[in-house]
Structure 1
Amino acid sequence: MAKKNITKSIAQKLFIIIGGLIAAYGLEAVLIPNNVSDGGVTGISIVISQLTPVSLGILIAVLNIPFIYLGYKQIGKSFAINSVIGIASLSAGTMLMHHVPTIITGDALLITVVGGIILGLGMGLALRNGGALDGLDMLAVLLSRKLPFGTSDLILFLNFFVFIIVSTVFGFTGALLSAIAYFIASKVIHIVEEGLSGSKTFKIITSEPNNMVETIRDRLGRSATFATVQGAYSNQEFKEITCVINRMEESKMKTIIREIDPNAFVTVYEVVEVKGGNFQKRDVH
């Protein structure tokens, strides 16, 4: 089991690196040469790189540091490590690919569609494997617990200000195309990673309910609830665990379930918004 987990962890990190390199290619070969930006921390980094001699790769790495720490405190060590790998890959990729040939020019619609698809593919691949390429999503997850807004609403709200900043360098047209490319990328992320933002509910029927809940609490910092359910044919009673997590914790939750009880019966539901109750978590490391 330990060997299998190590192999899976290495594979995840490899896919995160690939995701970072794909996203970097989308930026350097499609979007940036055509005065189109990304959203989030990467979008701010692109603007600063256009106004200063500092390279985009360095800016992406430096500006994401506070958000990596936030991910470490709110989601856990493994997510932070994976995010460091993803952001480092994106940063290094933009440096290595800075002079790659531009594959599309002139057609604004084609630029936004192709650039958004490539960018979303890279970001989605990283998120699917437990990492992130941009820190703005982590900030939105944290703010959603403090403010009366959903995570997806906050991501859009924060990026609204990012695209205002983009307009100062690329103009209104460039900012509009950047917003369209970001929207397309978000839809691709949803397809690849199965959930751009918001929360997910896990319902777990397992032979190890107490161990499962304790492990979720220790490694995710999440609480859970028990419900007694009964098999329709066996008439046997089980404890059903219900736990609500944010999307960035999904990969870690699946790992916990696989380690504790590979035969557990698990159903996962998309949740648009979570408010009130005890949807809180403590810091995990």
Structure 2
Amino acid sequence: MFLFEAKRILIVIFGAFLNAVSLNLFLIGANVYASGFTGTSQLLSSVFIDFFGIGISTGVILLILNIPVAILGWYKVGRGFTVYSFISVIFTTTFLTIIPVEQWSQDIILNAVFGGVLGGIGVGMTLKWGASTGGLDIIAMVLSRMKDQPIGKYFLIINSIIIALAGIIYEPENALYTLVALYVSTRVIDAIHTRHEKVTAMIVTRKADELQQAIHDTMVRGITILPARGAYSKVDKNMLYLVITRYELYDLERIVSEIDPNAFTNVVETAGIFGFFRRND
């Protein structure tokens, strides 16, 4: 467990490093903005410098914005997820301070594409190991647990605001290039993590009750338990059938491995659902 957690922390730190490289060497110099709170921090930093003459770095603003969000995540999402997410934010801020802001290419398209790719890899790796880059990820998870709405809806809203402000405050072209960077990073994140907002998990286990309780202790999701029987062993088992968001996939994998390492789990993409998604107490 110690080695696993150590590896997880190293991956989160490496993801933070890639995010910082994406920003300082590609996006910031070209006035192209990232997604979520990172892009918001970029935009605020640019506004403070250009309009008020106050030099506040993107990393410092990112850290300030994430403090109240971390408190929210601690109580509403989970302590482990929030701690690792805040580690990501702290190291992103540190790397943004250490790495100089340079523009490696004068071609804004190259900056948008390569910045989007590196940022997408950093975010995708972080999500895959059960953490996030903080900010909007935590807010989206909280809202998705309160309301049965796609997480992508909240990303779309704040990213649309970033794109609009980038076009209004600066050049309209910046909004278009920001859209390119956001599209590239989203595609990379989906390729590394998972493509759909929701996935369906089918778990064949002999410890259905223990798994059901552990899952409900962590996430508010309905579960259907079906009888199952091994074709070769002829042993009676149960199959847990549930739909979760992609942000909960890591938690589910952890729970299954802890409760029943011998369980068979199949995770498939879910294009859409009808009926109840949340558990009704």
> Secondary structure of 2:278's partner?
coil
Question: What is the CA deviation profile of residues 91-150 of structure 1, one whole-angstrom value per residue up to 9, with x for unaligned ones?
Answer: 1111111x2543222x22222111110110111111111111142233334444666752
- Matched-pair contact (CA < 8 Å) for 1:47–1:169: no
1: CA distance between counterparts of 2:244 and 2:73?
Answer: 14
User: Higher mean Cα deviation, 17-26 or 232-241?
Assistant: 232-241
Structure 1 unmatched ranges of 5 or more: none
- Find the counterpart in structure 1 of residue 241 from structure 2: 242
- Matched-pair contact (CA < 8 Å) for 1:21–1:122: yes
- Matched-pair contact (CA < 8 Å) for 1:76–1:220: no
- Matched-pair contact (CA < 8 Å) for 2:108–2:177: yes
- Structure 1 residue 71: deviation in Å? 2.9
Higher relative contact order (CA 8 A, sep 6+): 1
RMSD, matched Cα: 2.2
Structure 2 unmatched ranges of 5 or more: 49-54
- Matched-pair contact (CA < 8 Å) for 1:50–1:169: no
2:5 to 2, 5, 9: 9
TM-score w.r.t. structure 2 length?
Answer: 0.89
Moved over 6 A (4+): none
Question: What is the CA deviation profile of residues 187-223 of structure 1, one whole-angstrom value per residue up to 9, with x for unaligned ones?
Answer: 111112224x612222111122111111112233544
- Matched-pair contact (CA < 8 Å) for 1:216–1:223: no
- Find the counterpart in structure 2 of residue 184 from structure 1: 184
TM-score w.r.t. structure 1 length?
Answer: 0.88
- Structure 1 residue 276: deviation in Å? 4.4
Question: What is the CA deviation profile of residues 239-265 of structure 1, one whole-angstrom value per residue up to 9, with x for unaligned ones?
Answer: 101232222221121111111121210
1: CA distance between counterparts of 2:61 and 2:90?
Answer: 11
1:84 to 81, 86, 89: 86
Residue type matched to 1:21 in 2?
F
Residue type matched to 2:83 in 1?
I
- Structure 1 residue 35: deviation in Å? 1.1
2: CA distance between counterparts of 1:141 and 1:275?
Answer: 20
2: CA distance between counterparts of 1:10 and 1:274?
Answer: 37
Residue type matched to 2:201 in 1?
F
1: CA distance between counterparts of 2:10 and 2:277?
Answer: 36
Question: What is the CA deviation profile of residues 159-208 of structure 1, one whole-angstrom value per residue up to 9, with x for unaligned ones?
Answer: 1112112223432111110111011001111112224x612222111122
Identity %: 28
- Find the counterpart in structure 2 of residue 39 from structure 1: 35
* 2:24 is the alignment partner of 1:23: no
- Within a 5 Å distance, the mapping from 1:1-285 to structure 2 comes to 5-52=1-48, 53-97=55-99, 99-105=100-106, 107-144=107-144, 149-195=149-195, 198-274=197-273, 276-280=275-279
Q: From the superposition, tell whether residues 246 and 66 of structure 1 become closer, same or farther in structure 2 (CA, over 3 Å).
A: farther
- Matched-pair contact (CA < 8 Å) for 2:86–2:134: no
Residue type matched to 2:29 in 1?
P
- Matched-pair contact (CA < 8 Å) for 2:24–2:96: yes
Question: What is the CA deviation profile of residues 42-74 of structure 1, one whole-angstrom value per residue up to 9, with x for unaligned ones?
Answer: 111111111222221111011122332343334
> Secondary structure of 1:131's partner?
coil
